[in-house]
Amino acid sequence: MIVPSVSWSTTYFPVHQYGMKLRLVDVHPETLNIDPNLVEEVITPDVRAIFAVNLLGNPCDYARLRAICERWNLVLLEDNCESLGARLGDRYTGTFGRCGTLSTFFSHHISTMDGGLVLTDDTRLYHTLLSLRAHGWVREQPAESHLALSVDEFMRSFRFVLPGYNLRPLEIEAAIGREQLRKLPGLVAARRRNARTFVSFLGARDDVRIQEEVGESSWFGFAMILRGLLEGCRAEVTQRLTAVGIESRPIVAGNFANNPVIRYLEHDIPQPLIVANEIDKNGLFIGNHHYPISDSLRCVGEILDEIRGRHL
C-alpha cells in the first residue's frame, strides 16, 4: 500500500496489522500532502491501494489521485482525521475514497473526548465495519448483509464472523458528538479566519515556508518549515515559543521512516524522502483554535524576527 512519508502512526499501523507492506512516498514541498507525481512513479503490480492523508486540514489533490487509481485499478483510502470540514470543490474530504476516517479526539475539530468515525458509501464495507467495531459478531447485521447468518436468534446474538475489536462509542460520547456536529460549520469558519491572519503575517516571509492551501482547508494547525536565515534554528524557535506560552509540535510525526518503530513494519522506500527529511529537520507547527488568536500569531512573527536578527 502506498502511503505518505509524513503522517501520524495510525496511518501506518493498521496497514501493518493487516499484513500489508507499506511503500512510503515523499510529500509535496508546498502542500505537505502525498505527491501524486511520485505516486505514479512507484506503482508496481503488487500495489493494491493508496492511503491518502489530508495533512493538518489540507485536502489532497484528489483529481490526480482518483485518476491514478482508476488507471491502475487501485483502491483509494482516505485518512481525514485532521481535516474534518475541509472541502475540495463541492465535496468534503473524507468522501473521496472507498472509505474515510475521522477523529473526534479531544484536540481535533470536534470532540467526543476520544474515538472517531468511518465514512463510506459502500454497503458491503459498511456491514463489515459494523461487525469489526463490535467484536466481529453479527448481532447488528441487517438481514441483507453478506455477513448475516441463517441461525436462530439465540445463537445469532453471539456468532462471530470476523476478527474484530471493541470500538463501540459510549452513549454519552455519541450525545456530545451530535451536539458538536451542529457547531462544526461555525468552528471551521473561525479556524479559517485565524488562518487568513496567519497567512497575512507569515505567508510572505523568505525564512519560513508555510503550507499551501488546496481547496478549502479546515486548518487543524499552522505548519512552518524554517529556511534561509532560520534554517537549523528550530530549537531556538520552539524554546522561545514555549517561553511565551505558545505550544509547538513536530509536523505530525515528521518523516515517519525516521521513527524507530519503522523497523517493526514491513516497508520499502523506493525514492529519497527529500521533503520529509526537510520537515523532520526544520519543520514545526502551532495549533489553531476557533477562538481568535491574532495576538499569538503576531507574537510568533516577532519571535521569528528576533531569532533571525541574531543570525544576520
Give catalytic residue positions.
108
Give the three-state DSSP class for 140: coil
Under a CB-based contact definition with an 8 Å cutoff, are residues 39 and 72 in contact?
A: no
Q: Which cell numbers in the block locate residue 234?
A: 528550530
Give the three-state DSSP class for 279: helix
Give the three-state DSSP class for 249: strand
Please enumerate in sequence order all residues whose Cβ is within 8 A of that of 71, keeping only pairs 6 or more positions apart, or say none.
none
Dihedral over Cα of 183, 185, 186, 189: its sign: positive
Dihedral over Cα of 288, 167, 145, 124: its sign: positive
- Specify the length of the chain in residues: 312
φ and ψ of 50, to 5 deg? -120, 130
The DSSP code for 207 is: S
Q: Which alpha helices (DSSP H) does the chain contain, by range?
A: 9-17, 36-41, 62-72, 123-132, 153-156, 171-202, 234-243, 274-282, 294-310
φ and ψ of 41, to 5 deg? -75, -20
- d(CA 34, CA 260) in angstroms, rounded, equals 22
- Cα 233 to Cα 181, 203, 225, 229: the distances in Å are 40, 19, 10, 8
